[in-house]
Structure 1
Amino acid sequence: MKSAYYVGLMSGTSMDGVDAVLVDFAGDAPALVASHTEAFPEHLFKGLQRLCQPGQDEINRLGRLDRSVGLLFAKAVNELLNVAGVDKSQVRAIGSHGQTVRHMPNLEVGFTLQIGDPNTIAAMTGIDVIADFRRKDIALGGQGAPLVPAFHQQLFAREGQQRVILNIGGIANLTYLPGNADKVLGFDTGPGNTLIDAWIREVRQESFDRDGAFAEEGTTHPALLAQLLSHPYFSLDYPKSTGRELFNHAWLEQQLAPYGNLAEEDVQSTLLDLTCHSIASDINKLSAKGELYVCGGGALNGALMRRLAALLPSYSVATTSALGVDPKWVEGIAFAWLALRHDLGLPANLPAVTGASREAVLGARFPAA
């Protein structure tokens, strides 16, 4: 009899690394056994960034990167199991999110595309892989995102308590848990770390703004902030989801053009406020008060957390550590859970969140044998 171990693999919009977690589902709540982050080599990071924008020779580049990302994901799993001292035979399956390179759910024939070949992961690890979680929801008329609200509901919801679970990765998404399972909502609010990371990478050659220190050196430019917040996405009703297709470096350069030579730190501060204001606006529309728990890389940014709390005075604001789950690993655990749901033949999407026509079992199995 195998254990109840599953591996979750997550690589988000920020492309700052592959998060791998080993999770034990034997108890009442998932238990994090071990975790590991595998950094993207610079050439792979740059290749993925280029692929996220339309260009030449896309199919060949896509094919090569699909395999390369699969190899990196497999390396992350093997390193994780080495750290944990757990043999591959003890792991029931790997739940792999993949690396999103296009997310276009609102076209006439909508689609989403994640790469990181699951066959390669299965071959290199000797473990069955469950992947391609988003496209069934798209096929049913949904956005294919966000998928983590169903997991948030199971793990964090409490009867009669109004909670918001906010994941701030490259894109920020929230789950509204009003204390009634039938009323759960979730959607992408807009940019999380993607623009603040892109700007500090351009002007300081740093991969991220540690603790928001660079943003805190600057002063937010009110007119630029208002211009950024006028993006049509922020006024859309949910269900909605977004990605680099809307909020990217090219869009940012276009927005900055009329403002001349703003100080670099002022731009950084303004971009941080764009993230905070767009999130707070959506949260306030859902409920005037409640509990907010933050996870993802943004939870580790002290300036972001302080600014967000100031915009939500009627909310108690904390990270998911207060609920017993390390904020860095929540999404990875969620994709291990999605693999478990697939194994059990249970649905994992919430139609009220994604807009799909019905619940569905998500993902496909890629056997190691």
Structure 2
Amino acid sequence: MSPTLAWITAAAVLAGHFGLMLSGYNRINGFGWQRRTVKRCTKVMFAFTLLWPPIAIWMWQGFLSNWVTGNADLSSTPTLLAIYSVLCLLAWPMLGIPWLYFRPIFGVEAVTAPRQTEVVPVQQAVSNRLALTRKCKFESRLPINQVFDLSIDQIDLPVAHLPAELDGYRIAHLSDIHLTGDIHPDFAGYAVQRATQWDPHLMAITGDIIDKQPCIDWLGQIFAPARARDGCYFVLGNHDTRVVDSWQTRDAMDRAGWTDLGSRGLKKKLGGVDSLLIGNEYPWFQRPLIDAQPDQPFRLLLSHSPDQFGWARRHNVTLMLAGHTHGGQGRLPLAGPLLSPSFHGSRYASGDFYRAPTTMHVTRGLAGTHLIRINCRPELSLLTLRAA
């Protein structure tokens, strides 16, 4: 065994280790566990991610030396180390191939949706200083950080089985507002203002509105000015469970003129078409009880997580809007996003997708508890529906 092959194998094991940990991190955040449990698990995983490589290299040094000289004795390898090393090597075909297959550059399941993008440095558009905390002031000044560069994307979204009367129907989609107190409410307020100026037929928020209890007092200021012909609707997400009582958020949004779709269906005419508006906040709140067979020509689902794509398909949803993944918070050239809190990993981190009979739009959202966005600007989605 040549030294080169021996060390290539060791490098492959280490790369597989990082792939396993990344996959586990993404998926553990897809569960509806309490925040404390998720945090503990991710901290243990992060520590193991960093500590295992030097420990493994130290344990492997003697074995690799013997392997190079042809005197390797597999029985001398610690059992747990050997088993985990094999798992790391198996991660290449079992996780690596699907990950590569669903890279955004290949467009698997993607919908071709023409878009026009306007990038607005929001700090220049508002009078108040957006960075309120020391942490936010420091991180927002990093040269690669796009946290205050709002991407306003006007998207012509082809939707399969769209009723002809809804061709041209306009939906303003926001998500992941994440009011933490780090960023001035003017940032979200500006996005709502621009969405309203676009004169949408409907406005939707797909969860994670608030993280900190004091920010509930900001909701009226931010969202009361919103206007849409057929109404403004919202669901909650996992971060909305961080306040003492999520009903305080629902009540405040109700007072601001928004309709709560959480865990229910609402029959309504949209553009003269009998429609069903559905809210799915699972797994953090209950799923709605909806008939799988549609009585309406058009079904619109607001879901916090794209993980409910399968549920949407089983319930004959025409169009699903989701957030939660923040586009990965950062995107590599060609490879796209790595981090994405979803059972699907980064497969549906952001963009437009179709699996019969459902078209899904996943927005990158406005903000996050992490105040760094790299090649992944916050997004306001202005969707014009088109018959596919």
TM-score computed with the length of structure 1 as normaliser = 0.28
Higher helix share: 1
Quick check: which has more Rg, 1 or 2? 2
TM-score computed with the length of structure 2 as normaliser = 0.27
